[in-house]
Chain A
Amino acid sequence: VTPDHLGDVLSGLLDGELTPVEESDALAHLVGCVACRAELDGIRAVRLQVRSLPAVEPPAAFYRQVLPSSRPWWRDRRRSVVAAVAASAAASVLVLGA
């Protein structure tokens, strides 16, 4: 990026991360610089596209397989043997029943 252009100041501007002085300097530059205005438009568009991505709903397996490991440690330890036996019994039932 040449010093003549705003470069990553443009992202700072879009994100509201500039100081008031930096912001007014950037806006003054934009008035006279076609290239920076074009870059600002392009960056603004992709920023919006990423920000518009929806939250991703995890598959059901996520809640079955990943979150159960979230039990408090004391419950895990106390029940780990029982849980392991129960899980393998359940797995056998599933395999046999399939």
Chain B
Amino acid sequence: MPGDGIPTWEEVARQHGRFLYTLAYRLTGNDDDAQDLVQEVLLRVRRGLESYRPGSLEGWLSRITTNTFLDDVRRRGRRPVDYLPEEPDRVLPASDSADVASASARLPDHVQAAILGLPAEYRAAVVLCDVVGLPYDEISTALDVPVGTVRSRIHRGRALLRKALS
């Protein structure tokens, strides 16, 4: 990345493709939706590069990605925070005692499934905090909600994950 200048579109896509894909995959939980999401993000990035202020590029990309994701969820007619799975456990893969896959191989899928069981706005907050590693003030900017709301969403999301994974 060239010092403190505005990155070119090509640099963003080439150097941050894996970062964007990982973020999109953690939010959507499958390859098709992750690729669609990244594609939409790249279009928005291309249109909005001039509004990028040198600083946290990953924070900026994370903001665009989560907003694109949340817009998509809303467009599909779900109300993100109100949508609560009745039984969080149902989103987990059925356990199969005959499955010989190692626990370590299964564990990430198990966690990913639990993340997908979260209401979209809690999911976005948890992913920005624990997958991307953004501080609360950057998450607040990304989601356009107060820092107190960020903390509340992260905590409620973790509490639901804890229930789903216990």
| Known contacts A11-B151, A53-B111, A66-B39, A72 near B131 by CB under 8 Å | no
| Known contacts A49-B111, A72-B9, A11 near B162 by CB under 8 Å | no
* CA gap between A61 and B26 in the complex, in Å: 18
The answer to whether B131 and A67 touch across the interface, beta carbons within 8 angstroms, is: no
Verify if B116 is at the interface (C-beta below 8 Å from A).
no
Verify if A78 is at the interface (C-beta below 8 Å from B).
no
The answer to whether B129 and A71 touch across the interface, beta carbons within 8 angstroms, is: no
Verify if A69 is at the interface (C-beta below 8 Å from B).
yes
Residues of A within 8 A of B129 (CB): 15
Interface members, chain B 107-148 (any A CB < 8 Å): 107-108, 111-112, 115, 126, 129-131, 133, 135-136
Of all chain A residues, the one with the shortest Cβ separation from B150 is A17
* CA gap between A42 and B108 in the complex, in Å: 17
* CA gap between A51 and B8 in the complex, in Å: 30
The answer to whether A66 and B42 touch across the interface, beta carbons within 8 angstroms, is: yes
Interface string of B45-59 (1 = CB under 8 A from A): 010000000000000
A-B interface contact total, Cβ < 8 Å: 105
A23 to chain B, nearest CB (A): 14
The answer to whether A62 and B35 touch across the interface, beta carbons within 8 angstroms, is: yes
The answer to whether A57 and B18 touch across the interface, beta carbons within 8 angstroms, is: yes
The answer to whether B17 and A58 touch across the interface, beta carbons within 8 angstroms, is: yes
The answer to whether B151 and A46 touch across the interface, beta carbons within 8 angstroms, is: no
Verify if B61 is at the interface (C-beta below 8 Å from A).
no
Interface members, chain A 15-73 (any B CB < 8 Å): 15, 17, 39, 42-43, 45-47, 49-59, 61-63, 65-67, 69-73
| Known contacts A15-B129, A17-B135, A47-B158, A69 near B165 by CB under 8 Å | no
Measured CB to CB, the residues of B under 8 A from A are: 8-10, 12-14, 17-19, 21-22, 25-26, 31, 34-35, 38-39, 42-43, 46, 107-108, 111-112, 115, 126, 129-131, 133, 135-136, 151-152, 154-156, 158-159, 161-162, 165-166
